[in-house]
Chain A
């Protein structure tokens, strides 16, 4: 079966750095996405990785290792508004998105 694992919840301090991990086992791979979802709102696109390595976009970076079936989202200089759930999703061989359950990130002052 297809499976995406990410921690259920993480806590971090404002101004700090946090890394959210995602491991996957899917039938084929055509890219990995990270989405942000604030409580009661829709998911919004953060990043897309299809090749190994690090993609940096402002305070957010996303890393991919296809051989290890592993990705992480790195958030720097945390702000209170970063409190949200972060969803990892993999595009499988049929170009269907397989979603993880999401990681709820709590930011404390």
Chain B
């Protein structure tokens, strides 16, 4: 079975401070991992993905995420938060070995960056 956990429903951070949005996953094999962002009244936008290779993945808008196999985590990070980063963030996983092609999403974390 595949699943994703985002333990924090809400994350608040001051503008200019580093931010972390947590994600842990569970798959039977090796994972494909993704982060998506949803701005108000907009569809989901792809941020970054981990497929293979370097554990540190860099994506759009200055975001990055680190794949940690031993901790089964894929936390999203940014060194300096902007007010415009305030949005709903979703982590998603797919098992490389699985037959299903759909992604399994977490319940989302609402990030609020305080000016």
Genuine A/B complex: no
